[in-house]
Amino acid sequence: MEVIQKELIIVGGGPAGYAAAIRAARHGMDVALVEADKLGGACLNRGCIPTKALLESSRLFARVRSGAFGVKGDVQFFLDEVVGRKDQLVDKLNKGIGMLIQSNKVSYYNATAAFTGEKTLKLSTGETLQGQKILLALGAAPVVPRSIEGIELAKTSDDVLAHRFGDYGKVVVIGGGVIGVELATFFSEIGSQVTILEGLPRILSPFSPDVTKYIGLALRRGGVKVTAGANVKKLVQQEQGIGVVYTEKEKENTVSADLVIVCVGRAPRKIEGLELCGAEFDRGILTNADGQTKKTDIYAVGDCVRGSIQLAHYATARAVSVVDKLAGKPSHTDLTCVPSCVYTNPPVARVGLSEEEAQSAGREVETGKFNLGGNGKSLIAGEERGYVKVIFEKGTEQLLGVELVAAEAPEMIGGFTTLVAMKAKRGDILRSIYPHPSVSEGFFEAVEDSLKQAIHVIYK
Ligand code: NAD
């Protein structure tokens, strides 16, 4: 049996794996990419892109239905067509990645790989590959907590995005993390009665208490019932729908639903025969800061790595920087400066340190905040219930972090990430002129506010 030799084999064609393959090929490496499913991974097929496509439609529907923009009429929401549009654009992007892989001369195998030796992989399509180096980018899959009796009655985000559900008049979302609040936003915008049951004392707990407060209020205004500190006990089949039994402050309650969605995190994936390559797996593949496992030539990146930040753009950046190092090229990416966004209404975005994180890291800070109720463009967009907050280090005046709940927050955070990564000083920012009318003016005013100089703020 012929063994195909490669300089680098990448397993997993998600945002980490396919980006790594393209970069490696551009560095002149002889690279193979193996993907069991479709290129693009969870991000393109079951995550970022499909969710945002659905949210684009639900948002448009909710805006027209609100009558707040002088646009009225008896609009209807055709879920099948909305899902069809989502599928079309996923397909388009998927084909685009295929073309990039092909044009960069990456050897692509649409197959499941399993280790049969330290650096040998057997593919479900019959080939055997041997790599000088192997990079695992296996991704993660939704966690289904078996401790909850009857949990098989619930759907995961994968099911929802593939439209594997029936009635959705009453929706219960278990888990108030990023996926939970985004799906709650979608279903509430299309008219479902939504309840979020979050185990911790607050939703979106990795974000600041301000973010929790603003998004909690936005969800409630949209009719979502948010219950934090809820301990879900079991799901029971009822004559009509599903009963979700949970305790809150030791009191047992039951909420009925047509659709129960479980979004309590995503668990790193494994690969068959992993032990043969010598990498360790304990709630994820263990790697050092360079993405290297216990074995010299075996690397892992993205959501399959234990403790990794489970964000597509982080996975891509990390994968590319690992490949740069393998090729002996410098990598300039600051992997500590990672923006994160939540596509609620209004959306959330943050980068760098929050005020609370900076303080617990012992940094003395000066903050500025601008409430977007005084920002023209936010009022125009109907998303004035947000804010921009900036965190500077006292003394050095270095921008440590930015946090915003605002229309187009995910569009703006990229530029702010550059400022944080380049360690911009307050004076650098104040040299600029921001366009009017724009939501980004709110950022400028927040910077001015850190000096109590924002024009549109009344100081006593
Ligand atoms: P998550 O970790 O963000 O949130 C899960 C939530 O479920 C937490 O708040 C947790 O306290 C809660 N929880 C856990 N067990 C529970 C239980 N038994 N009952 C009630 N609540 C429970 O996980 P996720 O929302 O599933 O998202 C997975 C990953 O994907 C995250 O890392 C997230 O950042 C990423 N993601 C990012 C985006 C984005 O960038 N916009 C979108 C979707 C997902």
Q: What is the pLDDT of residues 300-319, one digit of tens each?
A: 999 999 999 999 999 999 99
- 1 has pLDDT over 80: no
Note whether 314 and 338 are within 8 A (CB).
yes
Whether 267 has a pLDDT exceeding 80, the answer reads yes
Task: Give pTM, 2 decimals.
Answer: 0.96
How far apart are the CA of 451 and the centre of ligand 1, in A? 36
Q: Tell me: the pLDDT tens digits for 221-266?
A: 999 999 999 999 999 999 999 999 999 999 999 999 999 999 999 9
How remote is the CA of residue 175 from the centroid of ligand 1, in Å? 6
The answer to whether the CB of 212 falls within 8 A of the CB of 204 is yes
| Residues within 6 Å of ligand 1 by CB | 145, 174-180, 182, 197-200, 205, 232, 263-266, 310-311, 340-343
Task: Give the angle 79-85-91 at the CA atoms, nearest 5°.
Answer: 135
Q: How far apart are CA 280 and CA 291, in angstroms?
A: 13
What is the Cα–Cα distance from 335 to 369, expressed in whole angstroms? Answer: 26
pLDDT at 441 over 80: yes
Cα(64)–Cα(453) distance, integer angstroms: 38
**Position in ligand 1 atom list of the atom nearest CA 179:** 25
Asked if 16 contacts 269 with a C-beta cutoff of 8 angstroms, the reply is no
Is 436 an active-site residue? yes
Catalytic one among 27, 163, 436, 456?
436
At residue 31, the pLDDT reads 98
Best mutation site among 197, 226, 310, 411 for ligand 1 pocket (most ligand atoms within 8 Å of CB): 310
The confidence band for 73, taking pLDDT boundaries of 50, 70 and 90, is confident
Q: How many CB atoms lie within 10 A of CB 439?
A: 26
Write the DSSP string, 237-276: E-SSSEEEEEEETTEEEEEEESEEEE-S-EEEP--TTHHH
- pLDDT at residue 418 tops 80: yes
Query: DSSP states of 380-431 as a string?
Result: HHT--S-EEEEEEETTT-BEEEEEEESTTHHHHHHHHHHHHHTT-BHHHHHT
**What Rg, from alpha-carbon coordinates, does the chain have?**
24
> Which of 148, 160, 161, 178 most suits a substitution to test ligand 1, by most atoms within 8 Å of the C-beta?
178
Averaged over 370-381, what is the pLDDT? 96
Confidence of residue 386 (pLDDT cuts 50, 70, 90): very high
Crossing angle for the helix pair 48-66 and 79-103, to the nearest 10 degrees: 140
- Residue 369 near residue 375 (C-beta atoms within 8 A): no
* Residue 410, pLDDT above cutoff 90: yes
User: pLDDT tens across 170-227, in order?
Assistant: 999 999 999 999 999 999 999 999 999 999 999 999 999 999 999 999 999 999 999 9
What domains are defined for the chain?
3-142+267-326 (3.50.50.60), 151-264 (3.50.50.60), 346-449 (3.30.390.30)
Question: Predicted confidence band at 354 (pLDDT cuts at 50, 70, 90)?
Answer: very high
pLDDT band at 93 (very low <50, low <70, confident <90, very high): very high
Contacts of 109 by beta carbon, 8 Å cutoff, 6+ apart:
32, 33, 34, 35, 123, 125, 127, 129
Would you tell me the crossing angle of helices 178-189 and 209-221 to the nearest 10 degrees? 20
Å from CA of 309 to ligand 1 middle:
12
Average pLDDT, the chain: 97
pLDDT digits 0-9 by tens, 10-39? 999 999 999 999 999 999 999 999 999 999
Can you tell me the mean pLDDT for 431-458? 97
pLDDT at 279: 97
